[in-house]
Amino acid sequence: MKRIALLFIILFSIISCKSDYIPRESLNISINDFKIDSSSVRAIEIVNDTTIVYAGSIGDIGIISGSGKLKASKNIVTDTIVPHFRALSYTNEAIYALNVANPALLYQYKNDEIKIVYKEEHENVFYDSMKFFDDLNGIAMGDPTDGCISIIITRDGGNTWGKIACEDLPKTVEGEAAFAASNTNIAVFENNAWIVTGGIKSRILHTADKGLTWNLYETPIIQGESTTGIYSVDFYNETQGIICGGDFTDKFGNSANKAITNDGGKTWKVVSENQAPKYVSCVQYVPNTEGKEVVAVSTSGIFYSRNSGENWEKLSDKGYYTIRFANENTAWLSGNEVIAKMTIK
């Protein structure tokens, strides 16, 4: 019996050791830039290992191969309006791009055809980010128009969208809104979505049921001015998450601009206080690294953490707005007139 017990302990220890991921000390990266003429690109999404989609500031929606070749594109003009896209997502059937400013126009790009599937007119309308939970359920968020963050939902794969009434959402305070910096104001995991705000208040809205009910959580991120707050959020699973931001007008400020949670966003801990990275426009977990490896980007460079955001090192001085990982060794970035492929050697 003792031998059996000892054997079980040894086997358990071996299995435990095998499942414990050891993060890389540093990342040796190479970056290949691809020119996107005249367009500021803040919205990219990975479709698969060989394809990404993007939406830019001149009404452009594009599909790019893994080698950087433009496979398909559309330049949209609607009644003289050239939509400025900063929110983008996709399903197995279509690509969806949502512009900023008034009127809000949500376009469906399917079978090489463009169709408006949602329109909203309001002097304060300004949508910032969009995500899909799955091929049927999607969510987009924007600045308040009537005392709450604007949230629209689809339940039919993006063909139709409806706005959640303010009576069913937490109330905002005057001066609380969001930043359309990198299409990462929303993070989703299974049925969960987390939405971040900024400005006078910088908080977290959380749903555990794809938008049916909502909770509101406070954060310690810098806030109180129109340009301060959370610019980006990511969750590795339903409990572990990270938020980053700062003050867009003070890109060298690094006080209370990074925080992590291990309870699904209910409470947050400031990390790397008064240390780089400073202002951050996008943060993402590296896939398949058990939530230990994280990369953040801004116009001041690319930064890497091997301990879930506690400490960081700078990988590159190249500046970008946003980043998405295809796998643990390949990522795509975008910025002003550029989309780039980053390879970890």
| pLDDT at res. 121 | 98
Query: Rounded to an integer, what distance in angstroms lies between the CA atom of residue 227 and that of residue 225?
Result: 5
The count of C-alpha atoms lying within 13 angstroms of the C-alpha of 296, restricted to the half-sphere facing its C-beta, is: 32
Q: What is the mean pLDDT of residues 170-186?
A: 98
| pLDDT at res. 301 | 97
Which of the residue ranges 17-26, 87-96, 187-196, 268-277 would you say has the lowest mean pLDDT? 17-26
Mean pLDDT taken over the chain: 94
Q: With beta carbons less than 8 A apart as the criterion, state whether 195 and 214 touch.
A: no
| pLDDT at res. 3 | 52
Dihedral over alpha carbons 249, 203, 120, 115 (to 10 degrees): 90
pLDDT higher for 16 or 148?
148
Q: What is the mean pLDDT of residues 276-294?
A: 97
**3-state SS, residue 311:** coil
What is residue 299's DSSP assignment? T
Residue 161: its H or E element: none
> Is the backbone of residue 49 left (phi > 0), alpha (psi -120 to 50) or beta?
alpha
Query: Rounded to an integer, what distance in angstroms lies between the CA atom of residue 113 and that of residue 117?
Result: 12
Is the pLDDT at 4 greater than 80? The verdict is no
Query: Rounded to an integer, what distance in angstroms lies between the CA atom of residue 321 and that of residue 254?
Result: 17
| pLDDT at res. 250 | 82
| pLDDT at res. 16 | 45
| pLDDT at res. 49 | 82
| pLDDT at res. 19 | 61
Residue 345: its H or E element: none
Q: What is the mean pLDDT of residues 261-268?
A: 98
Percent of the chain with pLDDT over 90: 89
pLDDT higher for 12 or 303?
303
| pLDDT at res. 251 | 66
Beta bridge partners of 314: 303
| pLDDT at res. 252 | 66
Query: Rounded to an integer, what distance in angstroms lies between the CA atom of residue 50 and that of residue 75?
Result: 23
Q: What is the mean pLDDT of residues 181-204?
A: 98
Q: What is the mean pLDDT of residues 248-275?
A: 91
Q: With beta carbons less than 8 A apart as the criterion, state whether 133 and 210 touch.
A: yes
List the domains of the chain with CATH numbers.
Answer: 24-344 (2.130.10.10)
Query: Rounded to an integer, what distance in angstroms lies between the CA atom of residue 330 and that of residue 34?
Result: 15
Query: Rounded to an integer, what distance in angstroms lies between the CA atom of residue 241 and that of residue 246?
Result: 17
